[in-house]
Structure 1
Amino acid sequence: IKELGVLQPVLVRSTGSSEDEFELIAGERRWRAARRAGLQTIPVLVQTADDSNSLEQALVENLHRQDLGVLEEAAAFQQLIDEFGYTHEQVAARVGKSRVAVTNTLRLLQLPASVQRLLSEGQISAGHARALLGTPDRAFQEELARSIADEGLSVRTVEEMVRERSGGPPPRPIAVPEADHVGTSGAAGRGQRLPPAGILELEELLSDHLNTRVKVDMSAKRGRVVVEFASLEDLERIYKLMTGTPADR
């Protein structure tokens, strides 16, 4: 900001009390950073908005922060639903995420308070938390969450423990399409079925980091990573996460 200034205008509205008095709707971090950098002026967009619209815009702006915790994000999604009557699809379109990502994030609010606390403190990951949702037994969720924090259990291990508790079948091996293989001889050419050990956990880690669905396909000699995005804005968000580009650029 010292070198280039504020590139993205902040959003304000008139307070109505005087012509040169405005209320900040979105962009508080940019405004505070500009003050610390010693800037006297910054670009603004003046918008006509009532209290309801201002809150909605502030929520959406906040949701585009890269350092937003997953539970903070879930709470903001829920506020958009409760206060503005959004559906999951509308939330997804408004914030540039897939509907599945929005729904999965909202489900984290169903976890017991003690589990949510471990998640917010970083003692368990969002992948762990989603795996815990595979059982309706809240006492078991809390017990397993403590084990994750104490023993460093992997997401894959938690999924297996939840599956065993629920009496579900073991996961099926991943069938790799023949088209994904290099060459046509040997096991690779016959559509070898690979166990998902490590692959599902890697998908979870990538999905958590990029906050979207990620699919990893493996063959004998090569692999492919498919990253889903909901819009061009969502693609730009993913690009910035992958390259470390600042959110305001």
Structure 2
Amino acid sequence: MTKVVKKQALGRGLSALLKDPENNIQSVSDKNADKVVGNIIELEIESIEINPFQPRSNFNEEALQELATSIRELGVIQPITVRKLDFNKYQLISGERRLRASKIVGLTTVPAYIRIANDQESLEMALVENIQRHDLDPIEIALSYQRLIDEINLTQEQMSERVGKKRSTIANYLRLLKLDPIIQTGIRDGFISMGHGRAIINIEDHDAQSDIYHKIISRNLSVRETEALVKGYQDSLKPSAKKAAKGTSFKIDDEQKKTIASYFGAKVDVKMAGNGKGKITIPFHSEEDFNRIIKLIQG
């Protein structure tokens, strides 16, 4: 507890520095910036606005109340992070749950790290820091990755370096955004897991995705059972194997072959296939012989 009190006392001193109009720090090169940027400062909650780039959109109310209870008893252990906008005006970069819980408790100040950043840097910091939290749902993480691609122009390789995740892991999260929106909501609400979503995503048709999603819910299917269900659906789309050919309904004996050979006056080759079809090959030795066979065929 003594350690926390010391931090708060230091923070209050720096807070007074920030409230002095003569110390309106806007960049790291300004006077006294080194005393503020990167330090823990007690900021008035009313001077902090929510970051419009905040990737989180869902907050579990029960978990928020539990955090508020912890803050009421122990205080805010982990400072939030803000960026300075103007004189005594700040924007939240990360720590929205802590800020919300502090408001529930009725705190008027909260410990905060001060950073100076432009909008793009603020967005990247907010996204990267929030991705690394353990309480984001898979869809929130996927959306954060997508925003890093769309708005910061990061490649998956660059994101891998920023957030400390394998590129394949990032790709798996991004693929979740191809799911039907209803299924994405199901993952966010905890009805199915990311593993279920990764199995369903192998189906392109959204109607089929939804059908399997409802079966997972109604039958309480495991991820492995879902994978088997998806495989069964995919197998049903493959062209059915040709039916086994029926056996021949008749046979050609030697006498019949001799009759054909005798008629054409040549050693005729007769071959039968397993489906009752076949072919007759009539050899000829000259143009004259060929014309003779033609006359026989024409009758």
Same fold per superposition (TM over 0.5): yes
Equivalent position to 1:121, from 189, 205, 226: 189
Q: Using a 3 Å threshold, how does the CA distance of structure 1 residues 93 and 151 change in structure 2: closer, same or farther?
A: same
Structure 2 gaps of 5+ residues are: 1-70, 237-299
Alignment of 1:150-169 (within 5 A): 150-167=218-235
Distance 1:48 1:62 in 2: 18
Name the structure 2 match of 1:90.
158
Alignment of 1:12-161 (within 5 A): 12-16=82-86, 18=87, 20-161=88-229
| Letter in structure 1 aligned against 2:200 | L
Q: Indicate the percent of aligned positions where both proteins have the same amino acid.
A: 43
Higher relative CO (Cα under 8 Å, sequence separation at least 6) belongs to: 1
Secondary structure in 1 matching 2:82: strand
Distance 2:216 2:190 in 1: 11
Name the structure 2 match of 1:8.
78
Distance 1:24 1:75 in 2: 19
Instruction: Supply the RMSD in Å over aligned alpha carbons.
Output: 2.3
Secondary structure in 2 matching 1:65: coil
Q: Using a 3 Å threshold, how does the CA distance of structure 1 residues 116 and 38 change in structure 2: closer, same or farther?
A: closer
Point out the structure with max Rg over C-alpha.
2
Number of equivalences: 166
Structure 1 outlier segments of 4+, above 6 Å = none
What's the offset of the Cα at 1:38?
4.9
CA contact (8 A) 1:134 1:163 kept: no
Normalised by the length of structure 1, the TM-score is 0.59
Structure 1 gaps of 5+ residues are: 169-249
Normalised by the length of structure 2, the TM-score is 0.50
Name the structure 2 match of 1:227.
none
Secondary structure in 2 matching 1:7: coil
What's the offset of the Cα at 1:148?
0.8
